[in-house]
């Protein structure tokens, strides 16, 4: 009987256990990972949580504690997530974050989404976009994983204050409705206010800008407004057109009160074999303009400019290109602000246009181009400006033979013509031979020989006492040179030192610079450290240096292992016979030349000085000085350049002495300022002065600049300008400008 009772207890226990087991099959409770495929979707979802309950009858999984729900590339994290497999939706609550495959992260307290996490409603939303910008809203909804519609929302790229996170950012946009279209790559606002430091400053019923994933998108850019004495009040409304992945354009009409409409445009195209850039502008003179400009510059009708640059590769050996730079009159680009940046040619005394082709192969190089010029200064007639068609250079250097000797061949062909003045055709051939040798004691010798042949055909050449001479002239000049250098090197624990005496002996016939040979490219000689040891000090080919001569000097340098360095070069030249090869004031007109030198010192990144000089041989009086000094730390830094040049006889340039300087300071992480200017010390005139103040952080930029220039040319007069710029990053920029013309 007792045994029967025990067996009965076992049977009852087994029945109870079976009942519990059956119940567990209806609602399971587990820890760890779980994966399943939705009945309404082929996407596989994955769970990870501290605790999970699964109701098989209802198809509902409830996960609690550090829950991570993954569907393809989207990851949903929350304190609690309920997934309804049959109805294919997800409820999440508590510390929610949704990671998008494109880099955005959404935070909320409650989300109800579809199983693929692409659609649903969200409460108390905060979102971090790809670039770190922030969006917050009371609520919103997701549509097809593409649209995010938010109600009573705010957008800002500014970082919140860590000490006061509840304080309003520097600027933000509040709107009744914000729509982020990821496929369209735009963020749109309805009934929006721009707030600065929490204060509303501007309202707009509609606002749109590209989202952080956009690199280029067609649309109006932020307009700019201002006023100047030259143009009166103006408004510029640029439009950007994204033509294709490899081309775009910007059209910027500028509406002015006094100068009519100025239309400027820019076109850029990247091709498989090169690239093309074009910038242009055009304006039509009003009747008032006609009277003023015809009187001032002789220009009537339409004014404008064109700047085009093309670079193209034909194959691995050849490439070609062109530059076209033209303006309607000498002052147009300067007067209306074209050419004031690195995207356009720097306005000097002429604008150059050219077309070229060049090839590289092995130790050979070929370059051919044509060049035309447009004068930008008064006092020179356009018909005297030359046109070069063509200019050809061919260069070849042979492989060294078993002794180390190599041959070189340089050919130059030039055809230069003018409507009025000298026309020149030139063929120049330089055939050279070069042999380096290192002696057993370490001194280095280089023996070279060269035969120069120049052939000229000229028309309308002006020779003393004669005009309009047409003739043929030539010269054959042999030249032999020996270069000697003996570097001495020593080192200690911290510094490497080097001392190198140098001497170059050159012998060639006297003369060669006939009056029947025009001088187009060798009119000015700048004798300094860069050509001290050159065999020919002239920069071009039309003039040559003849007679026996020796160039001598030394180099010294100290190079610290910490990166600092100091170097010095000094030298002089001696010519056996004094002649008229070099003009008075060049420093080379006597037997002994002036002394030239160069000093460079850079003990560290906070100090760098470069000094170049030419000293008169008799009394060491300076004839030429160039000083470039850079010193300081970001908090206070000085950059200055000083230059003085004595006048050379026959030179078009007068004696010059000028200084430019820039004092800059990174006041704080966000504030910086600079003060700069340039002064003509020879004339005692200030050329320009400018003061800049800039504030910049991760979301906003403000800059103010005050500038005064003193340049005069035809209708250009000395001018004061004051420009303020405001840039709301990710939204665009607003610029305000004011220019005041000095009429005194």
Mean pLDDT of the 437-458 span: 95
340 CB-near residues (< 8 Å, 6+ apart): none
> How far apart are the C-alpha atoms of 252 and 558, rounded to whole Å?
55
End-to-end CA distance of the chain: 132
Q: Mean pLDDT over residues 309-335, rounded?
A: 91
Q: Which residues contact 477 (CB under 8 A, 6 or more apart)?
A: 451, 452, 453, 454, 508, 509, 512, 544, 546
DSSP string, 306-323: EEEEEEEE-SSSEEEEEE
Predicted pLDDT at 580: 84
CA 206, CA 189: separation in Å to the nearest integer? 6
Structure tokens at 130: 């790809």
Tokens 């001290």 sit at which residue?
532
Give backbone dihedrals phi and psi of 6, rounded to 5 degrees, phi first: -65, -40
Residue 80 is predicted with a pLDDT of 93
Does 734 score more than 50 pLDDT? Answer: no
Check residue 651 and report its DSSP letter: -
The domain segmentation of the chain, as residue ranges, is 146-215, 233-352, 379-486, 489-506+519-525+533-654, 659-712+714-744
- Specify the pLDDT at position 348: 61
Quick one: which of 740, 743, 742 has its CA closest to 232? 740
Considering 105-119, 204-218, 438-452, the range whose residues carry the highest mean pLDDT is: 438-452
Taking 70 as the threshold, does the pLDDT of residue 714 lie above it?
no
Per-residue pLDDT band for 292 (boundaries 50, 70, 90) equals low
Structure tokens at 147: 């649209």
pLDDT above 90 as % of the chain = 50
The residue among 363, 248, 258, 345 whose CA lies nearest residue 305 is 345
Confidence band, pLDDT 50/70/90 cuts, at residue 379: low
- Give whole-number Cα distances, 473 to 235, 453, 470, 511, 515, in Å: 60, 11, 10, 14, 10
9 pLDDT above the threshold of 60 = no
pLDDT category, 461, cuts 50, 70, 90?
A: confident
The answer, yes or no, to whether residue 627 has pLDDT greater than 90, is yes
Residues 499-505 have a mean pLDDT of 98
CB of 183 within 8 A of CB of 205? no
For 20, residues 6+ apart whose C-beta sits below 8 A from its C-beta are none
Please check the confidence at residue 205 and state whether its pLDDT lies above 60: yes
Confidence check: pLDDT of 162 > 90: no
Query: Span 585-593, mean pLDDT?
Result: 92
Percent of the chain with pLDDT over 70: 86
Q: From residue 642, how far is each of 348, 613, 675 by CA, in Å?
A: 20, 11, 17
Sequence-ordered alpha helix ranges (H) in 284-419 = 287-296, 332-335
pLDDT for the residue 652: 63
Structure letter (DSSP) for residue 161: P
Task: Return the H-helix or E-strand segment holding 3.
Answer: helix 2-26
Reported as type and span, the H/E element at residue 201 is strand 199-210
Closest CA to 134 of 583, 730, 711, 682: 730
**Confidence (pLDDT) at 299:** 58
Q: Where are the alpha helices (DSSP H) in 239-301?
A: 287-296
Kindly tell me if the per-residue pLDDT of 605 is higher than 80.
yes
pLDDT of residue 132: 87
CB atoms within 10 A of CB 488: 12
Q: State the average pLDDT for the chain.
A: 85
In angstroms, the CA 462 to CA 473 distance is 14
Q: Which of 112-116, 144-148, 232-236, 501-505 has the highest mean pLDDT?
A: 501-505
Report pLDDT for 739: 43
Residues 237-281 have pLDDT tens digits of 888 888 988 999 999 998 888 788 899 999 999 998 999 999 999
Residue 736 — very low, low, confident or very high, per pLDDT cuts 50/70/90?
A: very low
Residue-level pLDDT at 185? 84
Q: Quote the DSSP letter at residue 440.
A: T
Under 8 Å between Cβ of 615 and 621: yes
pTM of the predicted protein model = 0.78
DSSP state of 384: G
pLDDT for 742 equals: 40
- Lowest pLDDT segment from 290-294, 583-587, 674-678: 290-294
Buried b (16+ CB within 10 A) or exposed e, 431-449: ebebeeeeeeeeeeebebe
Q: Is the pLDDT of residue 703 over 50?
A: yes
Please tell me the distance from the alpha carbon of residue 41 to that of residue 718, in angstroms, as a whole number: 74
Cα separation of 715 and 711, whole Å? 11
Q: What phi and psi values does residue 434 have, to the nearest 5 degrees?
A: -140, 130
Question: How far apart are the C-alpha atoms of 421 and 387, rounded to whole Å?
Answer: 11
How high is the pLDDT of residue 117?
A: 87
The pLDDT of residue 210 is 83
pLDDT in tens, 18-62: 444 444 333 334 445 555 554 444 457 788 888 988 888 888 888
Mean pLDDT of 518-534: 90
Burial class (CB in 10 A: 0-12, 13-18, 19+), 582: buried
Of 447, 528, 538, 521, residue with least CA distance to 484? 447
Give the Cβ contact number of residue 138 at 10 Å.
12
Q: What is the per-residue pLDDT across 638-688, written as a single tens digit (0 to 9) for each?
A: 999 999 988 777 666 677 889 999 999 999 999 999 999 999 888 888 888
What would the pLDDT profile of 466-480 be if each residue is shown by its tens digit?
A: 777 788 999 999 999
């Amino acid at each position: 009987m007792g045994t029967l009772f025990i067996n009965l207890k076992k049977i009852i226990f087994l029945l109870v256990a079976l009942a519990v087991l059956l119940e567990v099959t209806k609602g399971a409770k587990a820890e760890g990972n779980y994966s399943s495929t939705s009945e309404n979707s082929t996407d596989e979802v994955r769970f990870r949580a501290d605790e999970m309950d699964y109701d098989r009858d209802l198809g509902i999984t409830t996960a609690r504690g550090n829950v991570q729900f993954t569907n393809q590339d989207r990851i949903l994290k929350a304190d609690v997530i309920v997934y309804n497999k049959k109805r294919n939706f997800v409820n999440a609550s508590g510390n929610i974050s949704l990671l998008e495959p494109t880099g955005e992260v959404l935070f909320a307290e409650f989300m109800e989404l579809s199983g693929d996490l692409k659609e649903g409603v969200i409460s108390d939303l905060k979102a971090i976009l790809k670039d770190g910008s922030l969006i917050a809203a009371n609520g919103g909804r997701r549509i097809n994983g593409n649209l995010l519609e938010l109600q009573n929302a705010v957008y800002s790229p500014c970082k919140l204050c860590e000490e006061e996170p509840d304080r309003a950012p520097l600027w933000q946009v509040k709107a009744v409705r914000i729509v982020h279209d990821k496929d369209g790559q735009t963020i749109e606002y309805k009934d929006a206010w721009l707030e600065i430091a929490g204060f509303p400053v501007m309202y707009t019923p509609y606002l749109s800008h590209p989202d952080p994933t956009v690199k280029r998108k067609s649309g109006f850019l932020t307009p700019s407004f201002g006023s100047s004495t030259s143009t009166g009040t103006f408004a510029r409304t640029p439009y950007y057109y994204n033509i294709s992945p490899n081309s775009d354009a910007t059209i910027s009409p500028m509406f002015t009160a006094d100068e009519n409409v100025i239309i400027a445009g820019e076109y850029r195209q990247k091709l498989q074999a090169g690239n093309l850039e074009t910038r242009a502008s055009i304006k039509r003179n009003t009747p008032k303009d006609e009277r003023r400009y015809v009187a001032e510059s002789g220009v009537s009708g339409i004014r404008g400019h064109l700047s085009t640059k093309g670079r193209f590769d034909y194959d691995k050996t050849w490439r070609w290109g062109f530059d076209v730079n033209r303006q309607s009159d000498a002052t147009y680009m300067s007067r209306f602000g074209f050419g004031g940046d690195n995207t356009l040619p720097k306005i000097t005394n002429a604008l150059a246009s050219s077309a070229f082709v060049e090839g590289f192969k092995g130790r050979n190089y070929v370059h051919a181009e044509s060049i035309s010029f447009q004068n930008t200064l008064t006092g020179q007639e356009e018909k005297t400006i030359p046109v070069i068609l063509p200019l050809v250079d061919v260069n070849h250097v042979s492989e060294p033979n078993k002794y180390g000797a190599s041959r070189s061949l340089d050919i130059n062909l030039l055809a230069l013509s003018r409507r009025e003045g000298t026309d020149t055709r030139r063929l120049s051939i330089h055939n050279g031979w070069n042999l380096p040798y290192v002696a057993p004691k370490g001194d280095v010798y280089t023996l070279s020989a060269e035969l120069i042949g120049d052939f000229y055909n000229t028309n309308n050449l002006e020779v003393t006492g004669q005009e309009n001479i047409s003739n043929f002239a030539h010269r054959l000049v042999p030249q032999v040179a020996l270069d000697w250098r003996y570097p001495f090197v020593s080192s200690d624990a911290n510094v490497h030192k080097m001392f190198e005496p140098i001497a170059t002996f050159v012998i060639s016939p006297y003369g060669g610079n006939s009056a029947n040979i025009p001088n187009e490219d060798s009119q000015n000689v700048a004798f300094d450290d860069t050509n001290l040891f050159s065999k020919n000090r002239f920069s071009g080919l039309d003039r040559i240096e003849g007679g026996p001569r020796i160039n001598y000097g030394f180099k010294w340098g100290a190079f610290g292992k910490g990166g600092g360095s100091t170097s010095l070069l000094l030298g002089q030249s001696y010519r056996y016979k004094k002649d008229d090869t070099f003009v008075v004031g060049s420093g080379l007109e006597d037997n002994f030349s002036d002394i030239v030198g160069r000093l460079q010192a850079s003990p560290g990144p906070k100090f760098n000085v470069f000094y170049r000089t030419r000293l008169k041989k008799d009394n060491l009086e300076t004839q030429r000085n160039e000083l470039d000094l850079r010193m300081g730390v970001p908090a206070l830094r000085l950059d200055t350049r000083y230059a003085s040049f004595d006048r050379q006889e026959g030179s078009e340039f007068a004696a010059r002495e000028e200084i430019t300087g820039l004092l800059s300071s990174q006041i704080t992480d966000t504030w910086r300022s600079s003060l700069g200017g340039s002064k003509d010390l020879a004339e005692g005139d200030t050329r320009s002065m400018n003061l800049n103040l800039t504030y910049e952080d991760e979301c906003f930029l403000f800059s103010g600049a005050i500038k005064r220039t003193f340049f005069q040319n035809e209708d250009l007069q000395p001018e004061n300008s004051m420009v303020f710029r405001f840039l709301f990053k990710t939204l665009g920029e607003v610029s305000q400008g004011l220019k005041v013309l000095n009429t005194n």
